Chains A and B, each alone.
Chain A
Amino acid sequence: MEVLDASRWQFAVTTVYHFLFVPLTIGLSFLVAGFQTAWVRTGNEKWLKLTKFYGKLFLINFAMGVVTGIVQEFQFGMNWSAYSRYVGDIFGAPLAIEGLLAFFLESTFLGLWIFGWDKLSKRIHLACIWIAAAGTALSAYFILAANSFMQWPVGYRVNATTGRAELTDFWATMTNKVALITFPHTLFGCFLTAGALVMAVALWHLYRSKTPKEDRAAFRSAVKMGAITTLIAMAGMFVSGDIQGKIMTETQPMKMAAAEALYETEQPAAFSLFTIGTLDGTEEVYALKVPNLLSFLATGTLDGEVLGINDVQAQYEELYGPGDYRPNIPLAYWSFRGMIGFGALAALIALWALWSIRKGREPTSRLLKFAVPFVPLFPLVGNSLGWIFTETGRQPWIVFSLLKTADGVSPSVSITEVLLSFAAFTILYSILAVVEVGLLLKYARAGLPDLPPADTDSDSDADGEKPLAFAY
């Protein structure tokens, strides 16, 4: 294995892994903040119980997101130093700003939230989780703006003497049209993920006969909140994804063509729900097609022309010189469909869950009960496939049209070093995954916590002997 391949695999594994935790962190922080707001507003203890219950799951997940995130920032320099030199003038700024504006906010106010139950007033404590949630969303914007430069570089020029990209318009990079649409799409994905988790865990408790009667009301509310969040998020994903598809057709036609495995230009173009092709993916054997749909997805009109892979390849050879500009087509084709399919599946189950508890009913369907444990996984798989599509669909470029992935890798790092780090991360991440899932299941099964008796003895605070409301 070459340094390039090993570095790519490591980046793929560590990034996909990191992004299992990120959407839950972003989505759950807002949902937990919502539960806590409902408690502060209504005083109904069921909301406080839900805040604490889902808050625990949120924190178990958050820890993993934080620690795997540091790897991401270091990895650009460690494994992609040539890339870092090339785009540092542009790419470093959003990363630094993300840390300064978002990570400080997130970590500091989350610390206050976790440990501050008895130290802050109700309202300030509530504000802490909202500020932390805003921090998570803010961080998403900056990192997506950085990524969008790799998809569609704007606001730059290439310095002829150094051969490096330089920033000419910061505002343009921050309002890159790819970033503006990827941000809502990603955020809706986060809410889909968190909504599905909240719904599935609560539904599981409703199915269990052991769940105490007084907790059922709380779990019913959680199923509703989770399912409605999932449905709104899915609607948002469709709308934002649709716009994204049209922007992608414009900015990266090769990626759109790869998503459909469309070799020859078509007008109008059909969208295939699935295709059985030859093993190398170059010829189709059977395909189930919806006429005109691809034209609509790509151009917004039913009979728009969609460029095929071969034509784009010819075009790029003219523009960028000889070379193979095709990404991995079967991967693009299937990850694109998987992304949509898994997301839609979560939304369908959300609809079913809402139906199953309508007008005070208890859920009875055995099939739904069987599906419940898998529901939280669907959006996670969908998110991962979406990013795998976005990133592999850009290949062979690391920065579209400017720098090839092969030219971005660190020249001074040896294959031994990369294989060592790749193995270390893979093993460590596997162990941590088992531990994390074990803890999530334990705390998800445990059900709603008992609330501590209300504090009536206000003098006990003064002598310093009162136990902390929360401690590690």
Chain B
Amino acid sequence: MELVNVWFILIAILWTGYFILEGFDFGVGVLLPVLGRDDTRRRVLINTIGPVWDGNEVWVIVAGGATFAAFPEWYATLFSGFYIPLLLILIALIIRGVAFEYRGKRPEASWKRRWDACIIAGSLVPAFLWGVAFANITKGVPIDAAGEYVGGLWNLLNPYALLGGLTTLALFTLHGAVFIGLKTAGDVRADARKFALRFGLVATVLAAAFLVWTGLLHKSGPSIAISIVAALALIGGLLATKVGRDGWAFAGTAAAIGLAVIALFVALFPDVMPSSLDPAYSLNVDNASSTPYTLKIMTIVAAVFTPLVLLYQGWTYWVFRKRISTASIPKG
């Protein structure tokens, strides 16, 4: 296989990994006001992701860096073009990350309340905006002959993209609820499962609508097939939640998110950022990529180190596999 295609696949994998992993982190954050009635319960929720959220976030840093390295034109057009959404995502990630570390550092209720607000907003905003961004990438945006985005901010807020944003927000929220069901015991777990079952319908409808729209836009057979499997995985995850099989439920929502992202990338290929002005201006794996030499170096590095990363990140989840409950939260 040509290296540009390998790197298209690797970048798709990085984003897929990011959305599956940080997806439930965002979901947990969004659910803080829903499932966290009091401070102890909120701490249970936050501590389900405590040891892992930072490692999960590195996926986006590597996805960004890999895009820069393998497809500089894509990186340059995307990041400068989607300036304001990315700025909002950055601000959200900043306040959310600091909030996790600082929330417990003072005893005052007002202090904790403020950081809770940062966690909620800092999870909700990127959960929505990443969907908007990826819907726009697959749909195509105004890119001129020089490869520059010329659409302005409002162009990004079209109905399809907004539906994409609502879809990722709903999917991540559901994924977070299912994750909490998997990682907690007692009341928190019961409430999380109840929420997941009620909210599951909303998420399924939104995801189905978005994927049907995507199918109509691109008419790509493989992408539609993957979308259907994604929908089935989502329904399977909800059924597993109903019968109390938390592990399978999590596998279901994780697969649904992963497959939905893959469906978008499959629909996109071989373009990386189609132009809505003229197909000749579209950025694709060939005209946006680095030289074969750079791709070769990057391939070697990725082949050696990615398995290692997966191994020790997997080990972290094993170390912290135990469910936590309100009884696990130390005082202070």
Contact = CB atoms under 8 A, between A and B. Distances in A.
The reply to whether chain A is a binding partner of chain B is yes
A74 B64 contact: yes
A239 interface: no
B22 to A, nearest CB: 12
B325 A412 contact: no
A466 interface: yes
Interface string B185-212: 1000000000000000000000000000
B328 A63 contact: no
Interface stretch (A100-108, A248-256, A355-363, A389-397): A100-108
A71 interface: yes
Contacts of B65: 73, 92, 95-100
B301 A464 contact: no
Contacts of A432: 94, 98
B313 A424 contact: no
Highest count of chain A CB atoms <10 Å: which of B66, B72, B91, B324: B72
A302 B330 CA distance: 65
Interface string A460-472: 0000111111111
Contact of B80 (A79, A119, A472): A79
Nearest to B290: A89
Contact of B297 (A107, A167, A435): A167
Nearest to B325: A464
B23 to A, nearest CB: 17
Contact of A89 (B50, B72, B328): B72
A420 B87 contact: yes
Interface residues of B, number: 78
Contact of B72 (A73, A85, A99): A85
B167 interface: no
Nearest to A410: B80
A110 B54 contact: yes
Contacts of B147: 85
B323 A99 contact: no
A243 interface: no
A420 B88 CA distance: 11
A225 interface: no
B136 interface: no
Contacts of A330: none
B225 interface: no
B178 to A, nearest CB: 20
Given A70-B93, A424-B87, A468-B328, A81 B76 contact: yes
Of A59, A82, A97, A428, most B-chain CB atoms within 10 Å: A97
A448 B258 CA distance: 46
Contact of A421 (B57, B87, B320, B331): B87
Interface string A145-170: 00000000000000000000011101
A87 B147 CA distance: 16
B86 A115 contact: no
B54 A66 contact: yes
A429 B85 CA distance: 19
Contacts of A68: 94
A69 B98 CA distance: 12
Dominant secondary structure of chain B at its interface with chain A: helix
Contact of A67 (B60, B98, B306, B323): B98
Q: Taking chain A's interface residues, is the majority helix, strand, or loop, or is none over half, making it mixed?
A: helix
A74 B301 contact: no
A375 B164 CA distance: 51
A471 B43 contact: yes
Contacts of B43: 471-472
Contacts of A442: 105-106
A417 B83 contact: yes
B77 interface: yes
Given A96-B62, A412-B80, A111 B70 contact: no
A67 B52 contact: no
Given A66-B54, A464-B328, A468-B330, A84 B72 contact: yes
A73 B64 contact: yes
B84 interface: yes
Contacts of A167: 290-291, 293-294, 297
Interface in A418-441: 420-421, 424, 428, 432, 435, 439
A100 B297 contact: no
A99 B62 contact: yes
Interface in B289-332: 290-291, 293-294, 297-298, 301-302, 305-306, 309, 312-313, 316, 319-320, 322-325, 327-331
Contacts of B320: 115, 119
Given A98-B65, A99-B58, A89 B294 contact: yes
A120 B319 CA distance: 8
A101 B148 contact: no
Given A167-B297, A412-B150, A472-B43, A111 B94 contact: no
B183 interface: no
A83 to B, nearest CB: 8
11 contacts: A70-B57, A104-B312, A111-B52, A166-B291, A166-B293, A168-B293, A421-B83, A439-B106, A464-B322, A464-B323, A467-B330
Closest CB pairs A-B (n = 5): A88-B72, A77-B79, A92-B69, A96-B65, A92-B68
Interface of B: 43, 46-47, 50-52, 54-55, 57-58, 60-62, 64-70, 72-73, 75-81, 83-84, 86-87, 90-91, 93-95, 97-98, 100-106, 146-150, 185, 290-291, 293-294, 297-298, 301-302, 305-306, 309, 312-313, 316, 319-320, 322-325, 327-331
Interface of A: 59-60, 62-64, 66-71, 73-74, 76-79, 81-82, 84-85, 87-93, 95-101, 103-105, 107-112, 114-116, 119-120, 166-168, 170, 410-413, 417, 420-421, 424, 428, 432, 435, 439, 442-443, 464-472
